[in-house]
Amino acid sequence: MTDTAMISQTPTTNRGWVVTFSGTGINLALGILYAWSLIKGAIETEFGWKGSQLNDPYTLCCLVFAFAMILAGRCQDKFGPRLTASIGGLLVGAGFVLCSTTNSYAVWLLGFGVLAGIGIGFGYSSATPPALKWFPPSKTGLIAGLVVAGFGLAPVYLAPTSDFLLRNYGLLKSMLIFGIAFVAIVCGLSQLLRNPPAGYVAGAKPAAPGSAAKPVAANATPGEILRQPTFWLLWVIYFIGAGAGLMVISSVSGMAKQTLHEAAFIAVAVMAIGNAGGRICAGLLSDKIGRRWTLMLVLLIQAALMFIAIPVTASTQGAKFVIVLVATLIGFNYGANLSIFPSFAKDLWGLKNFGMNYGVLFTAWGMGSLLSRLSQMLKTSSGNFKSSFITAGILLIAGAALTLLIKPQSKNSAGVPEPVAPAK
């Protein structure tokens, strides 16, 4: 039996699942970002911050997180996932511990916005690439969805945990507890991340005598993808899909308070279940019907939900399950973006430079976070979230229309997606 055949046996497959769920666990810890709507409420109460200032550390964190993905992706591609993820855990912990020492706006921008943002970028960038390398292209969407589902699922435990800690220990002590816990969890799970051995080809079948192996996709460099119109088309759609979702996620607790009152954290937790479920389901669906059609469907449904949410969140006497259902569905469709776009990146540009390539594309998510600040400004000026929902809905319809410009991917005889250029 050859070396290649030996490493393709069950123990290697099992190692792939260990890497996958270790990545999921790391993202479960790093998903504190989505609990900001609860932290923001405590800041307003304990620190007295007002207006758009309340979303500034969150918005800065999203921006830094996204742009740190470029450097983190390079680090992951060059030095491997274990070191990169460990650096991420240490930085997030340091940022939270720093925030636990003061109510200073500037220090919170540094601690939560910069240090935690860089740390989340390093941790997040290290989770998906090694997992994808252990599995064949036919499972790209599923594996990407499973890994990033951890990030979306995090508020399921963070929302009630944050609510408990904030009520019993206050904001500063809660941030200290979170900081210490994240260092232990992320750095611990990082040790289980590893790339496949040299020569490993996931799902490879013996080649016919005399035939040459065909590469799955071009191993494009970041400089090369930036010259492709396809990249910029995907970037704009990602900006719209992520930004519209972040407008809602960053403020869902405040939206739910009118109906759920003190139990508003339930909406945050339930939205997280939808967020995680959307990542897995969209990943599976995109493996079956294609990335483009899945993305169009997600954006159109999300647009409809934005308009439905206007009367639902405006009601003070509405049925509690209705706002929870809407929150779940919005989370589901937002989360779908986070598995579709890394799958696009792998299909189009290959795995060799995946970390950095996806990091460059992920800047669209970071720029989309600016829409969360716009949402807070609209809320401050109008006193309600109607303008935010209308803006998000219109943007999502535009994004769905842009998906028609993405040329459908052809597949080779093995059913593997091949690189494509955009429709002209």
For tokens 């800041």, name the residue: 43
Give the whole-angstrom CA distance, residue 336 versus residue 372. 18
Written as one letter, the residue type at 60 is L
Nearest CA to 294 among 142, 125, 151, 153? 142
**Model pLDDT, residue 316:** 57
Structure tokens at 68: 């740190």
Phi and psi at 301, nearest 5°, equal: -65, -40
**Model pLDDT, residue 8:** 44
Give the whole-angstrom CA distance, residue 19 versus residue 242. 26
Query: Under a CB-based contact definition with an 8 Å cutoff, are residues 345 and 238 in contact?
Result: no
C-alpha to C-alpha distances, 368 to 236, 318, 365, 409, nearest whole angstrom? 9, 30, 5, 26
**Would you kindly state where each structural domain of the chain is located, as residue ranges?**
14-193+217-405
pTM: 0.77
Q: Render pLDDT for 255-265 as a digit per residue (tens, 0 to 9).
A: 555 555 666 66
For tokens 């967020």, name the residue: 275
Point out the residues of the chain with pLDDT beneath 70.
1-13, 34, 202-218, 249-268, 313-321, 372-373, 375-385, 408-424
**Model pLDDT, residue 303:** 92
Give the whole-angstrom CA distance, residue 380 versus residue 373. 11
Give the whole-angstrom CA distance, residue 87 versus residue 241. 29
Written as one letter, the residue type at 327 is A
**Model pLDDT, residue 353:** 87
DSSP code per residue over 338-390: HHHHHHHHHHHH-STTHHHHHHHHHHHHHHHTHHHHHHHHHHHHHSSSHHHHH
- DSSP tally for the chain: helices H, then strands E: 18, 0
The answer to whether the Cα torsion of 76, 79, 81, 85 is positive or negative is negative
Written as one letter, the residue type at 46 is E
Give the whole-angstrom CA distance, residue 74 versus residue 296. 30
Query: Under a CB-based contact definition with an 8 Å cutoff, are residues 361 and 345 in contact?
Result: yes
Q: Which fold has domain 14-193+217-405?
A: Growth Hormone; Chain: A; (1.20.1250)
**Model pLDDT, residue 272:** 77
C-alpha to C-alpha distances, 70 to 80, 240, 337, 339, 353, nearest whole angstrom? 14, 20, 19, 18, 11
The length of the chain, given as a count of residues = 424
Q: Render pLDDT for 168-222 as a digit per residue (tens, 0 to 9).
A: 999 999 999 999 998 999 999 999 998 888 777 766 544 444 433 344 445 888 8
Give the whole-angstrom CA distance, residue 94 versus residue 87. 11
Looking only at Cα atoms, what is the longest distance across the chain? 73
Number of CB atoms found within 10 A of residue 48's CB: 9
Query: Under a CB-based contact definition with an 8 Å cutoff, are residues 350 and 294 in contact?
Result: no
Going by the DSSP 8-state scheme, the letter that residue 100 receives in this structure is T
Give the whole-angstrom CA distance, residue 242 versus residue 329. 15
Structure tokens at 230: 């396809």
Structure tokens at 17: 């699942």
